[in-house]
């Protein structure tokens, strides 16, 4: 059991913790029990401005510190995260709802980004370009972009923060972080760990409160040189429009609508196991989770039968219980969205094959919805076009490869897509034709620290993870030196 004070000073500005200037607060609830956990600061423009000033002042020292020294602080933070996995996972489950085993996995994943960028901090190389004119010297020098405004969502409240903060710090940037209001406690814990690891004051700041005011303060301040955002495409577009006034750099990890294509030559047991994991992990609230399944008509029956068998085994309940596989959704609107997508699909002719409203767990108090499967969906249905962000799995059949690939690409999103096949030739063909930033072949877990993660089309701009993730926080300065 984690003890939490009833009111927390959740703003971390220039090295100290503060309540909101107005003393206003916002509640944080446990989505599995609907109990209030605590209240955190509801802040706005003034607090954000001070955080930016702190970050701007700290930038001078932090950006010129030897990379090795910055790297050592990140290594220490990585170790501290790993030493504290159990406690951090409990806090995460309490405010976000996901099962403890997933929360532990997320903390380890969050730590892996810190480790990766502790290493990358030492490899922020420049270039020496051979000149075309005699005597000239041409250099490209990498520079940290400056103060970074980082805005994060609630669905991965730890790893979405370290995936931004770790490369920013490694590059020599300073940060003002605004976490989601549903999950400020995980954000606070991560900040405390970086501070304990030796981060100087002002380098990492945290402001909780009014998204529009905080966002606006970041967007209108000339000293904030980059906005890194993970969240919905709608908010991403707003940030993009408003960033134009100062021509800020942007890194946007936005919504997705991932298809899974299961070909007739696929290993069906593997396809079932991984489709299930992709769809129902985090109760379906994952940007890269399967939103829609296309199954070849010749294997549809066998696949669906095996899948339903497995879905029936999933235990829904409070994430703190060891035997639970699927926790609550984040709030009531999230449950209503899943119901809306299901009712729309059934009204338009899809068949409910498992789950649905009647399966709902009335013995639980939180925002729960039972894993649900529908068959016979068509492209007109909302579930095949809009991000469901919940445990509803629609299955559609196809005959020809082209039909499945065209359907998969028929969306404005372009984050992740998955394919199950045992054919190497087909893997190449499909991989090249899918219009997505990430393609998984017989794999649904592509989010790793060492590789670039990010969408195309309306799923975003830029990459997180890998050496690519560091470059988002780096400007290249070209220096041309003549000789007499």
Q: Which residues bind ligand NAP (CB under 6 A)?
A: 151-156, 160, 178, 180-181, 211-212, 215, 230-232, 235, 238, 253-256, 287, 387, 415, 455, 460
Pairing of strands 36-41, 25-29: antiparallel
What secondary structure does DSSP assign to 50-105, as a single string? HHHHHHHHHHHHHHHS-HHHHHHHHHHHHHHHHHTHHHHHHHHHHHH---HHHHHH
Distances in Å between the Cα of 143 and the Cα atoms of 12, 114, 167, 202, 423 are 26, 20, 13, 19, 45
The single-letter DSSP state of residue 267 is: -
Active site residues: 253, 287
In the complex, minimum distance from the CB of residue 179 to ligand NAP, in angstroms, rounded to a whole number? 6
In the complex, minimum distance from the CB of residue 249 to ligand NAP, in angstroms, rounded to a whole number? 16
Closest CA to 93 of 151, 160, 158: 158
The three-state secondary structure class of 252 is: strand
Strand partners, 395: 293, 375
Closest CA to 389 of 410, 367, 409: 367
In the complex, minimum distance from the CB of residue 137 to ligand NAP, in angstroms, rounded to a whole number? 40
Closer to ligand NAP by CB, 99 or 215: give it: 215
Closer to ligand NAP by CB, 31 or 460: give it: 460
In the complex, minimum distance from the CB of residue 306 to ligand NAP, in angstroms, rounded to a whole number? 28
Q: Are 459 and 258 in contact (CB under 8 A)?
A: no
Closest CA to 275 of 306, 234, 301: 306
In the block, tokens 């370290």 appear at 162
161 in the Ramachandran plot: left (φ > 0), alpha (ψ -120 to 50) or beta? alpha
Taking CB positions, which residue lies at the least distance from ligand NAP?
Answer: 215
How far is the C-alpha of 296 from the C-alpha of 302, rounded, in Å?
A: 11
In the complex, minimum distance from the CB of residue 330 to ligand NAP, in angstroms, rounded to a whole number? 8
The three-state secondary structure class of 137 is: strand
In the complex, minimum distance from the CB of residue 58 to ligand NAP, in angstroms, rounded to a whole number? 22
Question: Which helix (H) or strand (E) is 166 found in, with range?
Answer: helix 159-171
In the complex, minimum distance from the CB of residue 180 to ligand NAP, in angstroms, rounded to a whole number? 4
Closest CA to 285 of 151, 98, 159, 31: 98
How far is the C-alpha of 29 from the C-alpha of 198, rounded, in Å?
A: 31
């Amino acid at each position: 059991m984690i003890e939490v004070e009833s009111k927390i000073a959740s703003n971390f500005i220039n090295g100290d913790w503060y309540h909101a200037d107005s003393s206003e607060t916002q509640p944080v609830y446990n989505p599995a029990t609907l109990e209030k956990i605590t209240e955190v600061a509801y802040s706005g423009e003034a607090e954000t401005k001070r955080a930016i000033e702190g970050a701007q002042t700290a930038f001078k020292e932090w950006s010129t510190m030897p990379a090795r020294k910055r790297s050592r602080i990140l290594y220490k933070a990585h170790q501290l995260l790993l030493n504290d996995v159990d406690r951090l996972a409990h806090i995460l489950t309490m405010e976000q709802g996901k099962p403890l085993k997933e929360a532990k996995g997320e903390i380890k994943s969050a730590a892996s980004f810190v480790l990766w960028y502790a290493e990358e901090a030492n490899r922020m190389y420049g270039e020496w370009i051979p000149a075309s004119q005699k005597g000239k010297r041409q250099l490209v020098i990498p520079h940290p972009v400056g103060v970074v405004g980082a805005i994060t969502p609630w669905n991965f409240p730890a790893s979405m923060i370290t995936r931004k903060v770790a490369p920013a710090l490694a590059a020599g940037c300073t940060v003002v972080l605004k976490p989601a209001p549903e999950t400020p406690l995980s954000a606070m814990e991560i900040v405390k760990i970086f501070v304990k690891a030796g981060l100087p004051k002002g380098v990492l700041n945290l402001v909780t409160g009014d998204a529009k005011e905080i966002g606006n303060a970041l967007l209108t301040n000339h000293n904030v040189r980059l906005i890194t955002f993970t969240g919905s495409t709608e908010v991403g577009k707003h940030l993009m429009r408003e960033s134009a006034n100062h021509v800020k750099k942007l890194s946007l990890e936005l919504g997705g609508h991932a298809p899974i294509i299961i070909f007739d030559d696929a290993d069906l047991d593997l396809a079932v196991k991984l489709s299930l994991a992709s769809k129902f992990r985090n109760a379906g609230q994952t940007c890269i989770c399967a939103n829609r399944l296309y199954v070849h008509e010749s294997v549809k029956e066998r696949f669906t039968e095996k899948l339903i068998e497995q879905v029936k085994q999933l235990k829904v309940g409070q994430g703190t219980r060891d035997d639970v596989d699927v926790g609550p959704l984040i709030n009531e609107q999230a449950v209503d969205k899943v119901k809306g997508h299901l009712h729309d699909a059934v009204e338009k002719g899809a068949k409910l094959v498992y789950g649905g409203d009647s399966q709902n767990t009335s013995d639980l108090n939180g925002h729960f919805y039972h894993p649900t499967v529908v068959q016979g969906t068509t492209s007109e249905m909302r579930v095949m076009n809009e991000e469901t962000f919940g445990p509803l799995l629609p299955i559609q059949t196809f005959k020809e490869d082209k039909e499945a690939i065209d359907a998969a690409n028929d969306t404005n999103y372009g984050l992740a897509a998955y394919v199950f096949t045992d054919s190497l030739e087909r893997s190449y063909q499909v991989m090249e034709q899918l219009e997505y930033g990430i393609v998984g072949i017989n794999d649904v877990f592509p989010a790793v620290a060492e590789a670039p993660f990010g969408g195309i089309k309306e799923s975003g701009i830029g990459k997180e993870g890998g050496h690519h993730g560091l470059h988002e926080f780096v400007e290249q300065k070209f220096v041309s030196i003549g000789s007499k």
